DNA sequence: CGGGATCCTTAACGATACTG
DNA sequence: CAGTATCGTTAAGGATCCCG
């Protein structure tokens, strides 16, 4: 995964930079769930039934690389891996809440408009 | 353009719905410029030098379809087409500002971290 | 000027199988 | 359990040409 969109360095606009980081297909939802607390990999999978295991792994790796998510591996069998937001990741909270609230409006609008 | 991501109806999370609408490659930036006022097609092109004409057209069509942008064609030669936010589109302003501000933080962080 | 139509390349994504 | 590897498909996007 080359992340063409993210590593595009000429993001003249900061909005573009943000969306490059959180705009991935599942990243917003993952971050939103992590806002509620630490999750194991399998727990996240249940939260995102439409996201394949492969994609979830990839998205988590990118979020980790961007410093939003911390990954902790417990050396035990069977393996246990936990994901949580970093402080920088938590700084996204107001934005995520804003996205969620606007999303609600949009969905209500869709129902009216058809 | 089938907009696989957008018309996916099982968006259980509202964050996902929002990102489906504004998460397109250039949509955030387009919306951000339109916040500043009405723009002609050619003006938007100058604002987004890395976006091809084809892509700009497609993204604008989708934003129009989602009710965020209004397109006005003036019957004259050469043609003049103007784009502006609808009231619903303007309701995204706080979210866009939030994305911009967080994007600034992210870019500053990138410079420190390398 | 503001597109649309077409063709082609590349990136994104899914399915499946395998593993410590 | 939490992945990785591989393969195949689909969607996104670029280049070019044409048009009123």
Q: Check pLDDT > 50 for residue A1.
A: no
The mean pLDDT of A76-91, rounded to a whole number, is 96
The mean pLDDT of A68-78, rounded to a whole number, is 95
DSSP A78: S
DSSP labels for chain B? ---TTTS-S---SHHHHHHHHH-STTHHHHHHHHHT--EEHHHHHHH-TTS-HHHHHHHHHHHHHTTSEEEEEE--SS-EEEEEE-HHHHTTHHHHHHHHHHHHHHHHHHHHH-
Determine contact, residues B61/B70, Cβ cutoff 8 Å. Answer: no
Which pLDDT tens digit goes with each residue over B11-49? 668 999 999 999 999 999 999 999 999 999 999 999 999
Q: A5: helix, coil or strand?
A: coil
Chain B residues closer than 8 Å to A98 by CB: 94-95, 98
Average pLDDT score over chain A: 91
- Cβ of A106 within 8 Å of Cβ of B18? The answer is yes
The mean pLDDT of A74-86, rounded to a whole number, is 95
- Cβ of A19 within 8 Å of Cβ of B28? The answer is yes
Percent of chain B scoring above 70 in pLDDT = 89
- Cβ of A101 within 8 Å of Cβ of B14? The answer is yes
Q: Check pLDDT > 60 for residue B70.
A: yes
What is the rounded distance in angstroms from the CA atom of residue A105 to the CA atom of residue A62?
Answer: 29
Q: Is the peptide bond before B78 cis (omega within 30 degrees of 0)?
A: yes
Evaluate if the CB of B2 falls below 7 Å from strand D. yes
Residues 6+ apart with CB under 8 A from B94: A98
Q: Check pLDDT > 80 for residue A106.
A: yes
Q: Check pLDDT > 70 for residue A2.
A: no
Domain ranges in chain B?
A: 26-111
pLDDT band of B4, cuts 50, 70, 90: low
Instruction: Give the architecture (CATH level 2) of B26-111.
Output: Orthogonal Bundle (1.10)
Percent of chain A scoring above 70 in pLDDT = 89
Residue of B32, B87, B96, B102 to mutate for A, most A C-beta atoms under 10 A: B102
pLDDT band of A113, cuts 50, 70, 90: confident
Q: Check pLDDT > 70 for residue A33.
A: yes
Give the H or E element holding residue A69.
strand A69-74
How many C-beta atoms surround the C-beta of residue B71 within 10 A?
13
Q: Which residue is listed with tokens 């994305």?
A: B99
């Amino acid at each position: 995964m080359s992340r063409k969109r993210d590593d595009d360095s000429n993001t003249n606009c900061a909005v573009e930079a943000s969306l490059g980081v959180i705009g991935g297909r599942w990243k917003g939802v993952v971050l939103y769930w992590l806002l509620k607390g630490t999750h194991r990999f399998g727990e996240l999978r249940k939260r995102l039934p439409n996201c394949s295991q492969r994609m979830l792994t990839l998205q988590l790796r990118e979020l980790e690389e961007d410093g939003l998510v911390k990954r902790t591996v417990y050396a035990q069998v069977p393996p246990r891996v936990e994901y949580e937001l970093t402080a920088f990741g938590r700084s996204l909270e107001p934005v995520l809440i804003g996205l969620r609230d606007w999303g609600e409006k949009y969905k209500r609008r869709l129902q009216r408009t058809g």
